[in-house]
Amino acid sequence: MTELADLFKTLSHGVYVIGVSDGEHHNAFTAAWVMQVSFNPPLLAISINPSNYSYQLLQAGKICSVNVLTQQQYAAAEHFGSGGIKDKMAGYDWLSAETGAPILANSLAYFDCRLSHVCDAGDHKLAICQVIAAAKLQDGKPLLYSQTGDMDKSDGLYGKGE
Ligand SMILES: Cc1cc2nc3c(=O)[nH]c(=O)nc-3n(C[C@H](O)[C@H](O)[C@H](O)COP(=O)(O)O)c2cc1C
């Protein structure tokens, strides 16, 4: 029988770097569980593990950016998807958009957002974010979650599906 972990990988996701800020404190993390959930107002939902450091900053600062990674940015997905990195933002170029959230300068496109509200979602929280501004930054094809293998080490995280 096909494992639940394999079946979930048949769902299509992109790979994004989510930038968060609270005053002088900035951080960013890799996320695949991101989707548009409304036309008017334009809303994105981001599923975020509340134990991520970025969750604290999102809750406090109430702003974030969703940066679309290109197929050439596998290394960035790995970097921002890892914990325990000191000065995680260093070595990457950042822009500041309307809300003040950090924008990854060489991403394919970005969405600059304000946190609307947070819902419970099992072991994650669903951050519903209103898009304030968005722009394309370069040409390219988006990196897909299915191309990252077990980079997020999620294969061992599933229960029995009950
Ligand atoms: C490809 C990939 C996809 C990921 N998707 C998510 C996600 O959708 N939501 C989430 O909370 N964490 C996701 N993660 C895990 C976080 O990026 C990871 O826990 C990160 O270290 C959190 O950073 P922080 O503690 O500095 O905020 C993903 C990691 C990778 C590599």
Say how far apart CA 11 and CA 95 lie, in whole Å: 31
Decide: 31 in ligand 1 pocket, CB within 6 A. Answer: yes
* Residue having the nearest C-alpha atom to atom 15 of ligand 1: 81
Q: For residue 85, give both structure tokens.
A: 């990195």
Residue partners of 156: CB distance under 8 A and separation at least 6: none
pLDDT band per the 50, 70, 90 thresholds, residue 159: confident
* Residue having the nearest C-alpha atom to atom 5 of ligand 1: 31
Mean pLDDT, residues 45-55 taken together: 98
pLDDT for residue 158: 86
Domains for the chain: give ranges and CATH numbers: 4-149 (2.30.110.10)
pLDDT tens-digit map of 91-142:
999 999 899 999 999 999 999 999 999 999 999 999 999 999 999 999 999 9
pLDDT for residue 1: 52
pTM (two decimals): 0.97
Mean pLDDT taken over the chain: 95
For residue 56, the SS3 value is: helix
pLDDT band per the 50, 70, 90 thresholds, residue 2: low
Check whether 41 has a pLDDT greater than 60: yes
Largest CA distance in the chain: 50
Residue 27 Cα to ligand 1 middle (Å): 12
Burial class (CB in 10 A: 0-12, 13-18, 19+), 28: buried
Decide: 52 in ligand 1 pocket, CB within 6 A. Answer: yes
pLDDT tens-digit map of 64-87:
999 999 999 999 999 999 988 989
Residue 151 Cα to ligand 1 middle (Å): 10
* Residue having the nearest C-alpha atom to atom 26 of ligand 1: 53
